Structure 1
């Protein structure tokens, strides 16, 4: 295991954190969340998704969120898109710097998530990448259900590797592996991340873990040790997928940053600012959030 001394951090709370919530969060509070993430040091933020509002009501205000984004040349605003229509909406907003495509490793989940087969989801990602390039944007792709499917169970590493190579060859600037339902374990994570990293080198490998079975932080550490250079997290540990049964929250931003920074891995994030933002978000959501660090005494104590 060779740990990098710096890991790029991506805040996904405004999109993945909120998309599965029953209570609709106002555009104003979404923008406040984004600004708090920026103030805490986030320089890549998944701000919204351009999807069918009837299927994902929390993301119905995508264009309004984009209209309210601050002008920051030092921040990359990411918009999640599933198809060319979503990509066109994201580009038309004028505020999205990077398109985030999604491919799914199994047919059943791909059909539930975006109404197409797994192979079709790869082709859709390729088309999104091509459109982004033609419009002067970058695009990356997340492979959902990389470590297991809620419908089909185990997913073969070979399938995920084949998808990653095909998407990388299409011009993606980054490949992300998502444990959409939180079934990954550190050994599997290390093995798959290391293999994908070799196959798509020099593209960075990003990881996206859900903490459904309380293995999220262990999986982050295993992924970093295997060469992943970018980590997604969601403030407070909010998150879930509307189309994946049992997909509970993401790894909490403040918990990930605490773990990495304490281990000597820089993230560019301010932990105290994240804790304050998590406590604020807890008030907005009207409940205690899953993240543990924000609920714990500070350590080490300030002199």
Structure 2
């Protein structure tokens, strides 16, 4: 009789042509909590981040230095970030919308920052009150100064596959903005399916178009929302094209406060279940991740939307 895997672990069947290791870029404490109606206390956020690091995640996006008026849920960035000083060996990226945000982040010792651009004019206007080109011009001194300070810079690009106002987004439009962010000096680009409408064929098409422009998978990350249940399928398509950095949110927290049709991010636990089943290393402990998301869900007063969290935390 064939022995199955231990309870709580997937059967491992390796697939050819996939990365041997994936770096999970955990976005729950920032992208996840920014969309919560209630403000989570800084001490709870700090414990959340510590628990995620203890579960083996090497990159945990901590907060955003955006003006408190726009995202009040993250208004405590100056209070939170010093609480993470003991997390040596863990990357703690922060979002910086402009030079003022960068100043605040650098003053606290942040050396891993991100800017947030849009592939579409409609979302650039809704999110930044600027055109795409105006927003890129705003980011130019931010990226330059961050790099001069020795910081690593990630460029988020939202609405890469569909936009609630403009509909499907042509790959050439995304490639143009990706090229601009690369030319500004971004070390990594995160391709966002902000409203969760992408399908695997779209993902493959965009990655092929970017490769033809000289922007290969080693510089790319993917950031999928699960509105139509396609996030894991889209991730698998990206893995087939060599992408080895995947954004995910513990417990499936998050959406986007400026795109009301956006639902939760790909759940970190769902991603880890798939990756471990494919024999891909992540460094993550699925049991500890699940326990962390259950803990956070209790503090938010509602169950986690992650199917893996629900399956593994189910009491028989």
Match of 1:171 among 185, 206, 213: 185
Gapped regions of structure 2 (runs ≥ 5): 1-15
* Correspondence 1:93 to 2:125: no
Partner of 2:235: 220
Counterparts in 2 of 1:287 and 1:152: CA distance versus 1, 3 Å: same
- Answer whether contact 2:124 2:135 (CA < 8 A) is retained: yes
Q: 3-state SS of the aligned residue for 1:269?
A: coil
The separation in 1 between residues aligned to 2:147 and 2:232, in whole angstroms, is 34
- Deviating above 3 A after TM superposition, structure 1's stretches of 4 or more consecutive aligned residues are none
- Answer whether contact 1:205 1:227 (CA < 8 A) is retained: no
The separation in 2 between residues aligned to 1:65 and 1:197, in whole angstroms, is 38
Partner of 2:203: 189
* Correspondence 1:60 to 2:75: yes
Alpha-carbon displacement from aligned partner over 1:225-266 (angstroms, at most 9, x marks no partner): 112120010010010111112111000011101111111111
Partner of 2:6: none
Partner of 2:122: 108
- Answer whether contact 1:197 1:205 (CA < 8 A) is retained: no
Matches within 5 A, 1:111-260: 111-198=125-212, 199-201=214-216, 203-260=218-275
- Answer whether contact 2:24 2:282 (CA < 8 A) is retained: yes
- Answer whether contact 2:96 2:102 (CA < 8 A) is retained: yes
* Correspondence 1:276 to 2:291: yes
Alpha-carbon displacement from aligned partner over 1:143-183 (angstroms, at most 9, x marks no partner): 11111112211111001111111211222111110001111
The separation in 2 between residues aligned to 1:125 and 1:229, in whole angstroms, is 26
The separation in 2 between residues aligned to 1:72 and 1:147, in whole angstroms, is 35
Q: CA deviation at 1:197?
A: 4.1
Partner of 1:74: 89
Q: Normalising by structure 1, what TM-score?
A: 0.94
The separation in 2 between residues aligned to 1:213 and 1:126, in whole angstroms, is 35
Q: CA deviation at 1:14?
A: 0.3
Q: Normalising by structure 2, what TM-score?
A: 0.91
